[in-house]
Chain A
């Protein structure tokens, strides 16, 4: 069942570009790196186990 939140008229739904920008800003503010660097470190298992990393991973859909 593929459901898009836009179909449910959710005014708080960000576009994919807006959403990526939010994650980018949090990577910079919390970790001092950009999102591409975060993804590289994730791929290479170089990310520390910290609260900020945990929140960003969840924003990327990891954890469910």
Chain B
């Protein structure tokens, strides 16, 4: 997660906080709504997750398991003009999906549609932003390899914490 965020911003940092449920934590970045340079304009990106800790007996280490995520790309820092949003929030919508906020001549307003996806890693969204949309990468050379390595730690079963079990 840190590698991906460093690709988008030199100043943003992850923070986590306690949710009302003591076993669920949320992940957010400080400051919010990261400005992204795309060609000659600025877009804004916001990412939040819910996660819990789980002890992996086979690896003898704590892992973080993602429970929900929301990644937004918007035209404005208030996120009012959202362009694309990747969502997984099983509490209200079971399957991961993406919203594309545009009109289609045949399908109408696509934003109302929940276009199905697999679970999407934060790293894959970062790769899309840089590789497909042309967002300026803030990390140095080798970012793609570092991002791939970071993503490899995200295997659907969570990512490792830095603290092994005592």
Contact = CB atoms under 8 A, between A and B. Distances in A.
Interface of A: 1-5, 8-10, 12-14, 16, 18-19, 22, 25-26, 29-31, 50-52, 54-55, 58-64
B89 A63 contact: yes
Contacts of A54: 70, 87, 89
Contacts of A10: 16, 161
B17 A13 contact: yes
Contacts of A58: 26, 48-50, 68, 70, 89
7 contacts: A1-B55, A5-B53, A10-B16, A31-B78, A51-B85, A58-B89, A64-B68
A18 B17 contact: yes
Interface of B: 13-26, 28, 30, 32-33, 46, 48-50, 52-53, 55, 62, 67-68, 70, 72, 74, 77-80, 82, 85, 87, 89-92, 161-163
The secondary structure that dominates the B interface is strand
B133 to A, nearest CB: 18
A12 B62 CA distance: 16
Contacts of B50: 58, 61, 63-64
A61 B77 contact: no
